[in-house]
Amino acid sequence: MSSAPTATSGGVCCAVCGHRFARRDTVAAPLLRESLAAEIHRDHPDWNERSRICHADLARYRSRHIQTLLVAEKGELSELDSAVLDSLRTHQTLASDVESDYAEQRSLGERLADRIADFGGSWAFLISFSVFIAVWIAVNSLVMFWRPVDPYPFILLNLLLSCLAAVQAPIIMMSQNRQEAKDRLRARNDYQINLKAELEIRHLHEKVDHLLSHQWERMIEIQEMQIDLLDELRRRH
């Protein structure tokens, strides 16, 4: 996080706070958006095209201006929008590892449900369960034909399968509900990041315009110095 510029005894005066700063730590009025300049002019009637504003006050007005735009577009700011505005003020990041954060909050039952659901939807479960059914049918049809535990049509096997399905279905539903909750958190985080990126891009355009204007000012100053030197050389000759 960049430190705020310190006020100096020399330099130019900020039209908002009244402190004096180095010229590079202020922004000229023509570089601001008209809507932002109009908002500053409402609070400070002396604001004009020759005025300058420091970076701290400019950041505060930009935050207010963005909040006004969001309220105009959506009618009311949500908790997510407020979090994005706070991150812009404090220059904090919003990206987070949803997978790791959500995994740390799982209870023992939730972890067990996830593992059972993962195993129930794998080839290992299908192959092992197919082998179990084949062995069960073979034992009750061939090896123990004279005294089968579960004779044809394998009623006990059907009962076991029904019980397995009855237990496995809610476990899979619990795992799916957790996955949906995780997806909602991920979508929420993506929305905050996208909104902040859009607002930061707007600020970046303004900063680039300010940088180009500052370069033009320096070039004009250099040209004026060169012209003065040329005039002085002509007078000497």
The three-state secondary structure class of 56 is helix
Quote the CA–CA distance of 41 and 215 in Å, as a whole number. Answer: 26
What is the residue-wise DSSP string for 45-96? TT--TT-EEEHHHHHHHHHHHHHHHHHHHHSS--HHHHHHHHHHHHT-----
Q: What integer pLDDT is reported at residue 214 of this predicted model?
A: 64
| Residue type for position 92 | Q
Query: 150, 169, 189 — which closes off a domain?
Result: 189
Same domain, 114 and 185: yes
In a domain, 28, yes or no: yes
Tell me the per-residue pLDDT of 115-154, one tens digit each, with 9 for 90 and over: 888 888 788 888 998 899 888 888 887 765 677 777 778 8
On the question of pLDDT at 3 being above 50, the answer is no
**Which residue is associated with the tokens 């310190």?**
6
Same domain, 42 and 113: no
Quote the CA–CA distance of 55 and 22 in Å, as a whole number. Answer: 11
Quote the CA–CA distance of 8 and 13 in Å, as a whole number. Answer: 9
In a domain, 39, yes or no: yes
Average pLDDT over residues 73-84: 64
How big is the chain by its Cα radius of gyration, in Å? 35
In a domain, 99, yes or no: no
Please tell me the chain's helix, strand, coil percentages from 3-state DSSP, rounded to the nearest 5: 70, 5, 25
On the question of pLDDT at 181 being above 70, the answer is yes
Query: Rounded mean pLDDT of the chain?
Result: 76
Average pLDDT over residues 78-103: 63
E runs forming strands in the chain: 12-13, 20-21, 26-28, 52-54
Query: 173, 189, 205 — which closes off a domain?
Result: 189
Same domain, 59 and 110: no
Of 13-17, 21-25, 80-84, 140-144, where does the model show the most confidence?
A: 13-17
In a domain, 227, yes or no: no
In a domain, 86, yes or no: no
51 C-beta neighbours (distance < 10 Å), count: 22
Question: How many separate domains does the chain show?
Answer: 2
Average pLDDT over residues 102-116: 74
On the question of pLDDT at 1 being above 60, the answer is no
In a domain, 116, yes or no: yes
In a domain, 167, yes or no: yes
Average pLDDT over residues 78-105: 64
179: containing domain: 106-189
In a domain, 216, yes or no: no
Same domain, 59 and 124: no
Q: What integer pLDDT is reported at residue 39 of this predicted model?
A: 82
> How confident is residue 64, by pLDDT bands cut at 50, 70 and 90?
confident
Same domain, 118 and 180: yes
Same domain, 184 and 110: yes
